[in-house]
Structure 1
Amino acid sequence: MTPVIDDLSLDGPAPLQQQLYRQLSQRILQQRYLPGRQLPSSRQLAADLGVSRNTVNAVYDQLKAEGFLRSQAGKGIFVHEDIEPHRLAFERGATSRPVGAGPGMLPSLPRPVGPFRRGDDDANLPFNPGLPDLDAFPIRSWNRLLHHQESRTQLLGYSDLQGYPPLRKAIAEYVRVSRGVRCHHDQVIVTQGAQQGLALIGDVFLRPGDRVLSEDPGYRGARYALGRQGHTLVPVPLRREVLDIDALGDIGPARLLYCTPTHQYPMGGILDISQRMALVQWAQQNQTWIIEDDYDSEFHFCNKPFAAIQGLFDQAPVLYVGSFSKTLLPALRVGYLVVPEPLVDHFVWAKRISGGESPLLSQAVIAEFIDSGQFTRHLRRMRQLYRDKWQYFQARVSETLAGQVTPVAESAGMHQVLEGSFNDGEVSRKLRQRGYGSAPLSDHFIGTARRQGLVMGFASASEREIDGCIAALAQLLPAG
């Protein structure tokens, strides 16, 4: 008797071969075609379905290779008898849902700290902290350099894990001249942004049970990077909007201390020289390494910023972190570390494991941008532009929001904190619905002591957007 299959229908949008494979395999797994059942010959099935014999042969071959079917010489093609154990596993759910979806298959993971998903448009809203003025970037000059570099064959292959040597030399020269950092290019490690630099520090330095001290409030990215393996994050309070050095004595030693001494994030304070000396002395006595995130050091509007802690003192236990995300473009994802020379190999090894090389072409363009003098000119223009925006924003806040918020900021940086008595998470959410970014101040705290306010990144906003955001805040905030 000739086998007949009359329940197949190839009328979907997918390729015929894919449709036939899916329907045959599903019918076998669902036991509609029992083990040992004979299937039509490829010639007969092709004629019944109105498809080419090559299509049927390809599907039969695939099903035989996967153990669904077997050929018996001189007799034909049959559903494999050994399919029964696989069918039972299917019924128990081993293949009835996506791999990894079963609760028993998920590993024990640290709880994610949000917000960790958001739309692309939300990430670039005006007033999002840390977002530079993208419209003011010299894109034509950048594209000329990009075109100049992209034809170089040596930039199309692999490079130094530590970073493109000309860029490391340019960075070393820049931080020596502008920030007083003591280093040579062999101490510079190029990273995928400051965030990877912080993660590498954690990989190299931290062992189970180690403590990490961090400013409170402070940069959330440091909290995520340094606490991701379950290490204890200990909050260090601020006093007059800078790290409270006197509080360190009561907190006790730790493996690492993260700080933003040149422009505290998010409160804006600046550690003076005596405070920096006391911090280094404490770190040396307690064998604690200082992570100096030189955040916003390029954008001081009235006074020249203090030199970096790393370069102020001999043998200071300092790991220096920098980035081009604020000074150039966030999309470049290029940052850098400056570490003592004996530690370089440890960091390069950690980078090899965690992320590999940084994009070579981007590094080459940044190196030429710095060496040609365009980087310095760009910073000078941005410093003046952000100063003007800061002054305009300050004036509009004073005119419209007096009594509703208290501005907290030094004359520096790309953001300002507006503190007040309101639910900052709720106000931030409503601002986002109106097309304006911000970050709740309360989200930047580790400890239980939390203050309410908004971290407003004015650098990315135009005067029209500043006016619109101020008007929205006037409506959303409680009356003073």
Structure 2
Amino acid sequence: MEAPSFSSFAFCADRPLQEQLQQQLTDWIYTGRLSPGTRLPSSRRLAAELNISRNTVTIVLDQLKSEGFLEGIQGKGVFVAPDLPTDISGPSKVNWGHKGPLPELSEFGVYLNKTPLTEHGKILPFTPGIPDIASFPQKSWLQIQRRHQSRINLMGYDGNQGYGPLREALSEYLKLSRGVRCTPQQIIITQGAQQAISLCAQVLLNEGDSVLVENPGYMGARKAFLARRAKLISCPMGENGIDLDALQKNKNINARQPKLMYVTPTHQYPLGGILPASQRLKLLDWASQQHTWLIEDDYDSEFHYFHKPIAALQGMAEETPVIYMGSFSKTLFPALRLGYLVVPEPLAKVFIKAKSFMGGESPLLTQAVVADFIGEGHFIRHLRKMRLLYQDKWQHLNSLLNNELSEQVRPILQSAGMHLAIEIPNIDDQTLKQLFQQQGFGSSALSSYFNENPTMTGLVLGFANTTEHQREQGVAALKKILDIEDMRSI
């Protein structure tokens, strides 16, 4: 069977000829205009008919041969592959909202498909979780990076557990500054905090297990546990974080035998409460009696402004059921995507194996740079500098709120961290967040941190990435929005 005329092919100037010819030939095969077994003209004749170079035609025909659309028979020419289906109508087009020609999603995939997609948008002043990147010691960092870039051994693989010198430097830092009991063998380097939580969920939970979460609490942790199909239980909360007395008396929670509890004891997220030492010891005792794992997220506890950082829960006793986790996103910068877990020594191997299943190794060059950044003292100096800087910013924002918005908002004052939560009763804080964003400022709605039945509304304001002028502008913009008539009934 001879091919029809190709004179109808049209080419435009803004795309490569090779790409256009391949696309049009493929489309003709899909639509049946070039049916299986059809003989194509010679490359010389096809080039003349299309008024393009023979070399372009030859490259395209060779590519389509390699993909199985065409086959060449010596002495006879080039043909459309005879074994192609005759009923193909082009690449599959699937409407993911309904059943399509592709296999169905999992139940979890269907659940995700119904939820809105949330991505990190543009970083604005007051966006929570963003450090003062402009104050990062770039010069020292780049000097270390240049030193390591030519090391060939950092261009290969090293191990799923993480770079040895980084684990050693981290072990010393955590023991001295956070009171964590650990050796380098207990540390697993991860791609950020989210992978650390996901590893815990995969290793420790079965589908249907009960997990205690703070309410309000970190949304990323809830996502990791829901991905494992766990059942979330809201933990009773008090002024300083988890209410241990209420937890111990709650027979319904204890009867459900929670397998795991996610907790931020040294700086509750997002309200900022600090669990007293006596309560932290009670929590350890309760977890041991209940055979419940504790995931201690120490996300920004280095930044306490009027006293030394609170010692980690993990180091308060020996042989605790605590898995300690941290990240460099707040202490260095978010794009680093580097976090860590400290696990009981008997669990180290299984966590390393789990990491090999879920994501493999962390970037080796990055780990080497962070190791030296810690080992040479830059990390400690940077934390000291940022602690003083963030303290000034915290005090300034608190002063602005008290002077300008004292009748409308209630700052939830905890002298630590990189954000300040403000309670604004009886308001649609999701709408408030959007209106504030339209004025050029970031924030998070306080109600979105609740696992169920929000009991507070307001905003979470990240002050670390703001200048003095931006804080003044932001509070003025918030005051203007809140002064709108009937704002609280939106």
Q: Same fold judged by TM-score > 0.5?
A: yes
**Alignment length (residue pairs):** 472
CA drift of 1:202 comes to 0.7
- Cα distance between partner residues in 1 of 2:370 and 2:349: 24
Letter of the 1:442 counterpart: S
RMSD: 2.5
Aligned to 1:190, the other structure's residue is in SS state strand
Aligned to 2:87, the other structure's residue is in SS state helix
1:476 alignment partner, one of 461, 481, 487? 481
C-alpha deviations, 1:240-295, integer Å up to 9, x for none?
Answer: 14111123231122111011000100011110011111111110111001111113
- Cα distance between partner residues in 1 of 2:374 and 2:37: 73
CA drift of 1:25 comes to 3.2
Conserved 8 A contact 1:322-1:337: yes
Identical-pair percentage: 48
State the partner residue of 2:217: 218
- Cα distance between partner residues in 2 of 1:198 and 1:79: 52
State the partner residue of 2:226: 227
Alignment of 1:106-185 (within 5 A): 106-108=104-106, 109-110=108-109, 111-112=111-112, 114=116, 116-119=118-121, 122=122, 124-185=123-184
Letter of the 2:118 counterpart: F
State the partner residue of 1:8: 8
Alignment of 1:357-396 (within 5 A): 357-396=361-400
Structure 1 pair 301/42, CA: closer, same or farther in 2 (3 Å)? closer
The answer to whether 1:256 aligns with 2:260 is yes
Name the stretch that deviates more: 259-268 or 159-168: 159-168
Conserved 8 A contact 1:405-1:418: yes
Letter of the 1:447 counterpart: E
State the partner residue of 2:274: 270
- Cα distance between partner residues in 1 of 2:315 and 2:3: 85
Query: TM-score, normalised on structure 1?
Result: 0.91
State the partner residue of 1:351: 355
State the partner residue of 1:204: 203
Gap runs ≥5 in structure 2: none
Aligned to 1:103, the other structure's residue is in SS state coil
Conserved 8 A contact 1:134-1:329: yes
- Cα distance between partner residues in 2 of 1:21 and 1:286: 65
Structure 1 pair 63/283, CA: closer, same or farther in 2 (3 Å)? closer
- Cα distance between partner residues in 1 of 2:268 and 2:56: 67
Conserved 8 A contact 2:186-2:344: yes
2:471 alignment partner, one of 461, 466, 478? 466
- Cα distance between partner residues in 1 of 2:299 and 2:26: 58
State the partner residue of 2:315: 311
C-alpha deviations, 1:385-409, integer Å up to 9, x for none?
Answer: 0110011001000010111100002
Structure 1 pair 410/70, CA: closer, same or farther in 2 (3 Å)? closer
Conserved 8 A contact 2:31-2:88: no
The answer to whether 1:103 aligns with 2:100 is yes
Structure 1 pair 33/242, CA: closer, same or farther in 2 (3 Å)? closer
CA drift of 1:152 comes to 2.2
1:331 alignment partner, one of 330, 335, 344? 335
- Cα distance between partner residues in 2 of 1:217 and 1:176: 30
The answer to whether 1:279 aligns with 2:279 is no
CA drift of 1:87 comes to 3.3
State the partner residue of 1:435: 440
Conserved 8 A contact 1:5-1:40: no
Letter of the 2:466 counterpart: A
Structure 1 pair 15/233, CA: closer, same or farther in 2 (3 Å)? same
Conserved 8 A contact 1:10-1:16: no
Letter of the 2:434 counterpart: R
State the partner residue of 1:42: 43
Aligned to 1:364, the other structure's residue is in SS state helix
Structure 1 pair 328/114, CA: closer, same or farther in 2 (3 Å)? farther
Structure 1 pair 104/206, CA: closer, same or farther in 2 (3 Å)? farther
- Cα distance between partner residues in 1 of 2:168 and 2:177: 14
Structure 1 pair 240/347, CA: closer, same or farther in 2 (3 Å)? same
- Cα distance between partner residues in 1 of 2:318 and 2:33: 79
- Cα distance between partner residues in 1 of 2:150 and 2:65: 49
Query: TM-score, normalised on structure 2?
Result: 0.89
Letter of the 1:423 counterpart: D
Gap runs ≥5 in structure 1: none
CA drift of 1:8 comes to 3.0
CA drift of 1:70 comes to 5.8
Structure 1 pair 24/471, CA: closer, same or farther in 2 (3 Å)? same
Structure 1 pair 312/35, CA: closer, same or farther in 2 (3 Å)? closer
CA drift of 1:359 comes to 1.2
Letter of the 1:116 counterpart: T
